[in-house]
Structure 1
């Protein structure tokens, strides 16, 4: 083969190699990725930077204990369906359907002592999967345990305030309610899903980790051993001094506005996080008490990552049994009192009512209704503002004495308020353990 021809072939071959290598470098290191691709990576590498592009599908703004935040849902990320995926700039304006691009800067984290990798520009899977645990436990506490611990700020000395909110405004004896603070242990190596030596360094492993954390909150608490406890709220202060019950109105009872103050150990690093459970009574395990609640705490470099009580946008109203009147049948009156969050629009609230073996449902704007057994339910919008707020009242008529009645309210997929009562007797003070 002539030398000149060999040179031409060599030049072509080298050029092809350069083009292919350049494409591979662009494809692996430069090309913008979709969220689906990022979520599909086997491992996230600390120190790497990945550009993500997509179309904005949702916008969620929150005022958190860490400052204002905005979270954006992007298309191409089925792993976080219904949950915002990335963190945006809280000072910027965004629109649904607009293109969005950001760079994920992956770095090393530590969560409960386990090594992990994530990017501060990601909202899902971390921290959203862990915050979702708190949302579920909050609902279970308020509507099953009849109590709720709400984050309400951190003092200058680091003491964290958790305000007590009751489901419907009742008051309870402090001497019957113990309190415990539990801290998660490392999970790596304790479960085949996260074997020893396997850091939490991918979307799949973060989801597995969140699932294990959730299971650990639901019963035996082996993954959340006690780090401090109070034999009862009446003791005032815990064994190790990190818990303190504050009877805000000095009435000797546990009721709305009282607090359980907590001092949590500092994480010691800007990329270190710990999870805790703060429990009054026993919600899912012994000692089960007639009222109870649990608060899942995600504690980071600036303390608990949470939404302060005044900034909460979820709606809750208290439904208070106000008594019965009797004619040929009984009529029960249920008064509406403020709980927290904005007053929901009456047209947005769904109801479910059950009495004497019959039931009905719909939106509050459909009231009044009459059930098949003749029991009726009506709503009076006292100030005529179209919102369910203080002064409004429900009336359930056509009732027999000792009838058990249930009224539940919901907005979207979240409960707004509920009450069970017995005609002639009222609302039970708590649950049967």
Structure 2
């Protein structure tokens, strides 16, 4: 096992056990889930789901495209391993149900895992959700089983992989000793009760755009055309440090302070990882002991750290804001909401943001680049935006945002 793999395993074991303890849950020690979600979906007869063969074709085309770019050179389009099918919780007839949501393919090169890619498994989800150089989320669950005292699944439906948004893939589980099931974020390790995690409710515009993309892809396949990707525009910032915050502390310091430290490290030409900077930002952002931060504390914390910086949040994220910041050589922070999905516009001027959002950040990453799609199989006036991010664990992601993506916000930072 490499040093990087050891660090990931230690982090996941520590943070998950801490998070589960906070909600009174037991260990995830003996939870082994590979393939269970796929089997459950087949039994439910979810015929409307995107089949694996089509998801694999899209994944292969995107991986082949990314393999020609910085950060993703190790990707092998022929190295897509067996995927895991993640579910999404939806509300139907007033009840909570689960439907297939995301195919997550590990990517291997010469038998070694080099990343993963997530493909939408419903026509109302975008074809490419994300890709990254880090461990596939389902394999993070395996790392979590190293510690603990042997909790076991009560039945076939007691544990499942769950998709929430491009930055949050989770595990729902229930042991024989714990009546209330819990949701564990497979990246942060933070756990909460399943009832506190809202169901997935895509907007009409989001659904319409995704369906148009899938329709175009299907038509392209019917014409025996080769799926391919190209960019109509792009931007990238060089010299932004890519730090793993876990290196600096035995306890997780928090994604928002780490993301902010990379931006400040860029502006201050830092040559090595700045652990003291992360600690100070965590204090200024009032990040809690589990590494969670309130949204409005991110810009306030940066300005409190150094008044020469100007920072602000753009709520209900605007993709143009990301592009403007990158084009201006200013890395920014992209964050997704935590347990609750925001429903009103904070930019209307009629909302007091701290009173409106009683929730914590789900996850923050540092945005360092972008690409706009240029593809013939969907409306070119609404291209997807693929944002390159440093994920605060030392890995690199590419997250997909459509013009209807509203559940994220952007922290712009100007020196």
Q: TM-score range by the shorter chain?
A: under 0.3
Q: Decide which structure has greater helix share.
A: 2
Relative CO higher for 1 or 2, CA cutoff 8 Å, sep ≥ 6?
A: 2
Query: Radius of gyration: which is bigger?
Result: 1
TM-score by length of 1: 0.23
